[in-house]
Amino acid sequence: MTYKVEFSLAAAEDLERLFDFALQRELNSETGNLDIPARAVQAIRDSIAFLASSPFACRKAGTSPFVRELVIPFGSSGYVALFEVVDSETVIVGAVRHQREADYR
């Protein structure tokens, strides 16, 4: 079974925010690497592609068996994507956060 994976508006905005944050961090660094922001967003997108085939392999986030989160390694920490399996064909990513950010629930 293959699921269609969609981003909510909030999750799409999260990707932009995470890119901007990483870009600003690299611009302010003495050894800044301007490839890192794009690589981070690509790592998120590549990991989220996994949800098309195996969303239930991810850990539950709360009491509903359909709301889950995907841990996305990147660098020394990474990201977490909150998503919901809404039906037998669709997964919606609701939020994406850096692992060191405040809770997104």
| Digit-coded pLDDT (tens) for 43-101 | 999 999 999 999 999 999 999 999 999 999 998 889 999 999 999 999 999 999 999 87
Residue 14 CA, distance from chain mean position: 8
Domains belonging to the chain, first-starting first, are 4-98 (3.30.2310.20)
The tokens describing 8, both together, are 């909510």
- In whole angstroms, give the CA distance from residue 4 to residue 17: 24
Confidence of residue 32 (pLDDT cuts 50, 70, 90): confident
SS3 (DSSP) at 104: coil
Give the tens place of pLDDT for each residue, 10-31.
999 999 999 999 999 999 998 8
DSSP 64: -
